[in-house]
Amino acid sequence: MISFIFGTATAYAEWKDDANKDGYDLAAALFTTTIKAILAAAVTTLVVAAIVWLVMIAFGAAMPVIAIGALAIGIGFVANYLIEAADKFAGRTLTHDPKNTDGTAAIVAQYMREFGQSTMERVHQNWNYLMQKMSKDYMEIAF
């Protein structure tokens, strides 16, 4: 949850700082931040559970709650760092842009932008078709 909150705040701050970014860039950054936070939480949970299970089996004793919490925080930091580094590397590799600091969000934003434009074109085509077929029904609606 902490990773999600800080990741979302960072994505928003980066979006506000760059005047060239539009709403698609923000949506893509928030989407990829959410996916990365879920992935980091899953990795952290699996690793901590595996370590606690191994300690319990090997030593036949339970670990203190404080140790498990510290272990989870430490592994969470490492998992978040590695996932973020992999995201940035994948973004630079897939876009063939060594200056890409947005990671895979740059790729997702482009797909969102293309989908949004094609959707708007379809809306306009449907509107024009309706105006042609039933112009009296839609005469007073301004689109």
Query: Is residue 11 predicted with pLDDT exceeding 60?
Result: yes
**Per the domain annotation, does 130 fall within a domain?**
no
Helix, strand, coil tally for the chain in percent (to 5): 80, 0, 20
Number of domains in the chain: 1
How much is the pTM? Answer: 0.73
**Per the domain annotation, does 138 fall within a domain?**
no
One-letter amino acid at 94 equals L
Question: Which among 45, 12, 17 is positioned nearest to 31, based on CA atoms?
Answer: 12
Contacts of 101 (CB under 8 A, 6+ apart): 88
Which stretches of the chain are assigned E, i.e. beta strand?
none
Query: Is residue 143 predicted with pLDDT exceeding 60?
Result: no
Comparing 107 with 3, which gets the higher pLDDT?
107
List pLDDT tens digits, range 126-139. 877 777 777 666 66
**Per the domain annotation, does 127 fall within a domain?**
no
List pLDDT tens digits, range 88-129. 999 999 999 998 888 899 999 988 888 888 888 888 888 777
Question: Which among 127, 90, 111, 104 is positioned nearest to 33, based on CA atoms?
Answer: 104
* Residue 85 structural domain: 2-106
